Amino acid sequence: MLKTIYPDFYEDFCCKADKCQHTCCAGWEIDIDAATAARYQQLAGPVGEAIRQNIVEVDGTWQFVLGPGGRCPFLRRDGLCELIRRADESVLCDICANHPRFFVSLGDYELAGVGLSCEKSCELLLAEEKPLHFRTEAGKKLSLKEVLQRLSLPVSDEDLCYRAGLTADDAAFVLDCLQKTEPIDEAWTAQLAQLRSADMELEADAPQAFDRIYQYILYRALEHVPQYGWGTVLSYAQLNTDFIYLHYQLTGELAESTRRWSEQIEYSTENVRLLMELLA
């Protein structure tokens, strides 16, 4: 049986619902897991009828039919979910019930966490500046170094910290790499162009919070070690934290810079693969 590890703020996560400025119920395809899709076909009453009128099978997978702006048909104007309001959370498919949580297997361990495209996840990550800590199902507290040692990775103390002090050449390399990724929207392309043209002062130091961002990106990327190697995953964490640093220098909004990066990279399998291959 796999042993689960999760960041110490994981259990504090709670969806902000209508208080969220960036709903996760728009802008993404919403795939319905097979078990829930089968249940929806049999669900009685007005809720079942409404669901069946708003789902479609595409290449063998059921999905919600999105409206203008890529909005889920059950996303209300007030930001709440019509299905939860009319039934309860048990009516949700797996992706809606679990997002932004993730679970990946590595060796004898299941690594759990919450994705940073969610503003609540970013708030929790950045609520403290001290190094990240994790917990096991038994409640044992672990440092990131101890997590990596359990995974038999050749970690050094230098691997655990974000290396600040970007040069202009470093910044150009980071932006060149990110430019190669598939843009999530036109705003992303415009932001990259703005970053390229901006005359930013690159400081020798970075706020302590960048260690936590770097550590969390590294933790999230550990599933790719078997395919790309430890060195590539370390470079991936550094590169993406560098980008968040550049974005933050431009906007002054660290949580939003982190969240925006995650939307573009962390939630695109293709973009993660592209960056890993560039750095390999």
**Which of 98, 117, 144 is the endpoint of a domain?**
98
Residue 191: inside a domain: yes
For the cut 90, the answer to whether the pLDDT of residue 201 exceeds it is no
Domain boundary among 98, 122, 141: 98
Q: Is residue 122 part of a domain?
A: no
Q: How many domains does the chain have?
A: 2
State the pLDDT at residue 5. Answer: 96
Please state, in angstroms and as integers, the Cα–Cα distance from residue 97 to each residue in 15, 30, 104, 131, 211, following that order: 10, 12, 17, 29, 30
For tokens 């060195």, the residue is 231
pLDDT of residue 126: 96
Q: Has residue 246 got a pLDDT over 80?
A: yes
* Distance spanning both ends of the chain, measured CA to CA: 32
Q: Which pLDDT band, with edges at 50, 70 and 90, does 123 fall under? A: very high
Q: What is the pLDDT of residue 16?
A: 84
- Report residue 270's pLDDT band, with 50, 70 and 90 as the boundaries: very high
Residues 268 and 163 in one domain: yes
Conformation bin of residue 69: beta by default, left when phi > 0, alpha when psi is -120 to 50:
left
| Alpha carbons within 13 A on the beta-carbon side of 180 | 15
pLDDT grade for 21, boundaries at 50, 70 and 90: confident
What the block records as the tokens of 148 is 């990596």
Better-scored residue on pLDDT, 16 or 171: 171
Q: Are residue 80 and residue 183 in the same domain, yes or no? A: no
| Co-location of 177 and 265 in the same domain | yes
Q: Is residue 187 part of a domain?
A: yes
Residue 204 confidence (pLDDT) above 80:
no
Task: Check whether residue 172 and residue 265 sit in a common domain.
Answer: yes
On whether residue 193 sits in a domain, the answer given is: yes
Is the residue at 8 inside a domain? no
- Residue 148's SS3 state is helix
- 105 is a domain residue: no
Entry pTM: 0.91
**Cβ-contact 38, 101 below 8 angstroms:** no
Pair 136, 5: CB distance under 8 Å: yes
pLDDT above 90 (res 1): no
Taking the CA of residue 19 as centre, how many other CA atoms within 13 Å lie in the half-sphere pointing to its CB?
5
Mean pLDDT score of the chain: 93
Determine which helix (DSSP H) or strand (DSSP E) holds 171, and give its type and residue range: helix 168-179
20 pLDDT above the threshold of 90: no
Is 219 a domain residue? Answer: yes
Neighbouring-strand partners of residue 111: 5, 104
Shared domain check, 177 and 92: no
Domain that holds residue 230: 159-279
In a domain, 178, yes or no: yes
- Last residue of one domain, picked from the residues 98, 129, 144: 98
